[in-house]
Structure 1
Amino acid sequence: MRHSSVRGEGAPEQAAGGISGGGGPGASGAVPEPQGEGDGTSGVRRRRRGKRRVLLWTSSTMAFLILGTAGAGYLYYRHLNGSIQTDALNLGDNKLGGPKPNAFGQTPLNILLIGSDARNDKENQALGGGRDTFDGQPLADVQMLLHLSADRSNMSVVSMPRDTMIKMPKCTEPGPDGKVHPASKGLVQVNESLSRGGPGCTVAAWQELTKIPISHFMMIDFKGVVSMADAIGGVPVCVQENVHSRTKAGKGSGLKLPKGESVIQGEQALQWLRTRYGFEDGTDLGRTHAQHMYMNSMAREFRKNAKLTNPVKLNSLAKAAIDAMVVDPGLNKIDRLYDLSMELKKVPPGRITMTTMPWIQSPNDRDRVEPKPGEAEDVFRMVREDIALDGQDAKQPGGSASAPAASSSATPSAAPTATPPAKIPVAVRNATGGKDESQVKVKGRASDVVALLVGKGFTKATADQLTGAEDTTLIRYAKPEQAADAAAVATAFGLPADAVQQSAEVPGITLFVGKDWRTGAAPPAAPPAPTKAPDSARPLNGDDDKACMKIQEGFTW
């Protein structure tokens, strides 16, 4: 029986599912039959995913739209401040301490865009369908991380498929008596994070998986999507052949476009963002690629400052955006949204890169995916280290990839501490077995590292009786005022900046000796960071105005 994270049964359009953002059948190269027929349990599961889920991808596009249009007109709408809905930024224990500034004091921004399938009013229910799920918990079915570089020269967007299986972190709802959602014992579908206390748990799940500190989130629901699409005024898109997204069984978005470029808006834009049948091989991988094309084209339109000067249109867009979104407290004012939009506006479309997290099919379920070993981490690391996914940093002297703060060397030393090493208590835990405990812990390893710390002047270091399970060596600290002291420990061993994390699960500064440091006097140096996103991420450049969707056989007219 399919678990509660899958909704949409009884929705007006029962488009067969797969994996949003590039998963599912496409992972094995299988092409869904145009008739929409399936066999066995997997086929039934795919058919249950309908209009509700694909509309969520529209929500993520609208989140991007909000950011892009804020600078065009939000200052005119200060009276909307009181209407902005907010929720806690991070409900997890691991706060990561925020993005690290570069050598010039500039700080990157990481913004998580979330699409919720909440059916909390008649508008959302009408758009979402699936009457049997009206009272269900909302799901974070769209998740995109927008990374704005520290020097504001480039922007990277990383989509995560909704059916990605991850280990869910512990999340605690706000308030003195906030409900505690314990960490999952096994893998859980990532979109369930929203039902574990709100968007702050989705942020926590991303941070736990990627180790990327998230600055803000923006969450969008169904309502407002169509009206906001109308308010855009039209976005150019391209198809390589005439296309009609409709199967003989009546499934599909209904999109019908002639070969070449068309300017779409309103319902037609919604159809483009929903289309699965008819694009590429008929899987969600093609649908995601089409959504990225749309977002890049939209960004180019905003750059031209066209179609968004009409006060009536701006008013309609602003109202639709405010009604449809929830943000963290750091974005709870129109001025703050405006300031953010001005930062985003500095990036030319040619330095915007859209990607999907590299994935593999889950070994236990062909309808689920997991992060692709190696290549998913490469993308996450590039974001953590502020390296542009388009590869241009490596070509430019002084670019992010060669800047001191973007390398894998430790930047915590940039945060000086007034505490001498001899006065810094450090607990050392043996975590050398790895997260999956695939290796036997090295006996006495914590004591060995304590001796190394004492030799470096940290005379209050002690071996903890508790152990851990980590693939890489980490330093965690409990309170913000301990951050600088934890950074000093990292610097002593040459650990990278992202190895230092704030966590409520430790009583003080704690060094976890990971599987990567089973022997020797220092952790092994990290290999050089990638300089360009892997092909498996399907990078799409924002300046590519020649991008044109390939059409699936059998869907032309």
Structure 2
Amino acid sequence: MAHSSVRGEGPRSRAPHSADRGGEHSRYEARGEDSTPAPRGRRRSGGGGRHGGGPQIPRRGRRILRWFAIVLAVLILGTAGAGYLYYEHLNSNIKQDDLNLGDTKIAEPTPNAAGQTPLNILLIGSDARDSKENQKLGGAKDTFGSTPLADVQMLLHLSADRSNMSVISMPRDTLVKIPKCTDPEDDKVYPASTRLTMTNQSLGRGGPGCSVATWQELTGIHINHFMKIDFAGVVSMADAIGGVPVCVDANIYSRDSEGHGSGLKMKKGTHPVKGEQALQWLRTRYGFEDGSDIGRAKAQHMYMNSMVRVLRENATLSNPNKLRSLAEKATEAITVDPGLDTVKKLYDLSNELRKVPPKRITMTTMPYQYVGARVVPKPGDAEKLFRLVREDIALDGKSAKSPAKEKVSKDPAAADDEIGIVVQNGTRTSTLGPVSGRAGAVSGLLVGKGFTKATADHSAQLAEDKTVVRYPSAELEGDAQQVAKALGIPLRSVERSTDVSGVTLVVGADWREGTVYQAEKEDDKTPTSADALNGANDKACMHVDPNFTWKS
């Protein structure tokens, strides 16, 4: 069955909602001021045609098929495996979309001494109701065919030396600035969000490439690939795997009096989940921890780690018919960028991923803080986690390499007296008020050093743990670094941000007094707020909210 390259079967209208779709992916929660995405339903196919019936597979072919099935199941959840299947019809199943729909291009990391560079892959779980199967699994008839949301987003980082892997989850209700994205299929332009917008809306602004652009803008991390999967794909592959052990510390039933919840019902202890129950586990929010998206991310991490261990420890996937079915379902369920649009490319990637043992896999959640019912990246900790990934430093604390040297911009700086600088006071902390006049004092210091266009912004009421220099676009990076050097601020504290319109120095709580900045020694420990979980930890167990338990 070939896939059409045109957009879906018709326009997708938005219906008003007043209730949660099955409880776990609420669209009325997800939509904000800037959520006006157009209908979307592209299915771009790779090359090749499908062969009907299928001959008996020789023994070596079965072995190859088994590995292929494993890698697809694991890659989609951001773990490790390997595989390769030489049947062209599988290539025609794989859908593709453009990698990056934004304007910002982040340069690839500098290769290490062996000529290797890290790999960064954005894994996207779509809540699309674009088929009867997906609609049945996701519930809510009134959302059938509507614009999908990227309700699961995980950045998988494979180290340059292939010794370790790090995963960062971003809660779906994280508020971010989504950049301008242009859909190449119809040249529709989605303007940059004018207000903080939930990150899961990025998928509806032209496709996965807009989610990639959003991550790159936020983190400064170059993303090499993306992989997207829908509900039906999770279920079909979980069935073929045969079950993944998960644990709860009490009986759980994820359903409240208003019908919110995934429907997951499970007794206390460790149990294998597969099929629709596996999907329920991955979607559960009501009943885990505090009922937030943070608890759901933790449950997903446990599932992924457990899945890696299962696939490495047993060889139950030996039935050729089951393997053939898994391969078909997996390739039909995924959408990838052009760099992964064939089985051969997936196989090559899987060979790299399988080099990492579970004990060197670290799952984390982006450090966050609450803003009302939503979250934003936690100042200091979130940027530190992003920096560790940018510099290819293992999150398990076992990096064998030294941190990367500070990267000096290739963009030449303007003359000191031509650089416009806004200085803001960010010395306020949770326990201390801002230091009065600090922005004016430091702007005067800059003027004395020859930066005559430095001015103080007395209206800003900020709280920054560390002093930082921000700039909005690549052509001002050299200017920002020049300002940092003049004050003794390390280049790691110079960052690109769409929140500023020019070079902006925010005097942080680490420089409340004096004329000489003393930079704290930077450590490379993963922030405790990232809630790291090691891939070899088979004792992890989800805490159940007492309001969602039941007596057996």
Provide the TM-score with structure 2 as the length reference. Answer: 0.71
1:100 equivalent to 2:110? Answer yes
Structure 1 residue 95: Cα displacement:
0.7
**Counterparts in 2 of 1:248-397, with a 5 A limit?**
251-362=260-371, 365=372, 367-393=373-399
Distance 1:492 1:374, change over 3 A: closer
Aligned to 1:410: 406
* 2:423–2:504 Cα contact (<8 Å) kept: no
Aligned to 2:469: 472
Deviations 1:62-81 (A, max 9, x none): 6744665762x432444322
**Counterparts in 2 of 1:47-126, with a 5 A limit?**
64-65=75-76, 68=79, 71=82, 73-126=83-136
Distance 1:79 1:514, change over 3 A: farther
Structure 1 residue 275: Cα displacement:
3.1
Structure 1 residue 412: Cα displacement:
5.7
* 1:95–1:501 Cα contact (<8 Å) kept: no
Distance 1:488 1:537, change over 3 A: closer
Amino acid of the residue matched to residue 141 of structure 1?
Answer: D
Q: Secondary structure at the match of 2:85?
A: helix
Amino acid of the residue matched to residue 214 of structure 2?
Answer: A
Instruction: Tell me, in whole angstroms, the C-alpha distance in 2 between the residues paired with 1:500 and 1:12.
Output: 39
Structure 1 residue 169: Cα displacement:
1.4
Aligned to 2:55: none
Instruction: Tell me, in whole angstroms, the C-alpha distance in 2 between the residues paired with 1:11 and 1:230.
Output: 26
Distance 1:278 1:185, change over 3 A: closer
Find 2:543's aligned residue among 526, 540, 550. Answer: 550
Distance 1:192 1:247, change over 3 A: closer
Distance 1:209 1:104, change over 3 A: same
* 2:15–2:143 Cα contact (<8 Å) kept: no
Greater RCO between the two (CA within 8 Å, min separation 6)? 1
**Counterparts in 2 of 1:67-216, with a 5 A limit?**
68=79, 71=82, 73-174=83-184, 178-216=187-225
Instruction: Tell me, in whole angstroms, the C-alpha distance in 2 between the residues paired with 1:281 and 1:68.
Output: 26
Distance 1:172 1:389, change over 3 A: same
More off after superposition, 340-349 vs 547-556: 547-556
* 2:17–2:28 Cα contact (<8 Å) kept: no
* 2:480–2:494 Cα contact (<8 Å) kept: no
Instruction: Tell me, in whole angstroms, the C-alpha distance in 2 between the residues paired with 1:323 and 1:241.
Output: 36
Aligned to 1:36: none
Amino acid of the residue matched to residue 398 of structure 2?
Answer: Q
Distance 1:444 1:182, change over 3 A: farther
1:537 equivalent to 2:533? Answer no
More off after superposition, 184-193 vs 283-292: 283-292
* 1:169–1:182 Cα contact (<8 Å) kept: yes
* 1:475–1:486 Cα contact (<8 Å) kept: no
Aligned to 2:422: 432
Structure 2's unaligned 5+ residue stretches are 1-12, 31-71, 427-433, 455-459, 461-466
Structure 1's unaligned 5+ residue stretches are 25-60, 394-398, 453-462
Deviations 1:102-126 (A, max 9, x none): 3443211111111222232322222
Amino acid of the residue matched to residue 225 of structure 1?
Answer: V
* 1:109–1:215 Cα contact (<8 Å) kept: yes
Amino acid of the residue matched to residue 386 of structure 1?
Answer: D
Instruction: Tell me, in whole angstroms, the C-alpha distance in 2 between the residues paired with 1:338 and 1:244.
Output: 39
Identical pairs, percent: 52
Structure 1 residue 181: Cα displacement:
2.1
* 1:388–1:532 Cα contact (<8 Å) kept: no
Structure 1 residue 391: Cα displacement:
2.1
**Counterparts in 2 of 1:487-506, with a 5 A limit?**
496=491
* 2:81–2:354 Cα contact (<8 Å) kept: no
* 1:164–1:190 Cα contact (<8 Å) kept: yes
**Counterparts in 2 of 1:226-241, with a 5 A limit?**
226-241=235-250
Distance 1:165 1:302, change over 3 A: same
**Matched positions, count:** 470
* 1:349–1:542 Cα contact (<8 Å) kept: yes
Instruction: Tell me, in whole angstroms, the C-alpha distance in 2 between the residues paired with 1:114 and 1:543.
Output: 24
Distance 1:284 1:167, change over 3 A: closer
Amino acid of the residue matched to residue 472 of structure 1?
Answer: V
Instruction: Tell me, in whole angstroms, the C-alpha distance in 2 between the residues paired with 1:426 and 1:136.
Output: 52
Amino acid of the residue matched to residue 530 of structure 2?
Answer: A
CA RMSD of aligned residues (A): 4.6
Instruction: Tell me, in whole angstroms, the C-alpha distance in 2 between the residues paired with 1:430 and 1:486.
Output: 9
Deviations 1:486-506 (A, max 9, x none): 999999999758969899x99
Instruction: Tell me, in whole angstroms, the C-alpha distance in 2 between the residues paired with 1:8 and 1:131.
Output: 11
Q: Secondary structure at the match of 1:432?
A: strand
Instruction: Tell me, in whole angstroms, the C-alpha distance in 2 between the residues paired with 1:223 and 1:7.
Output: 25
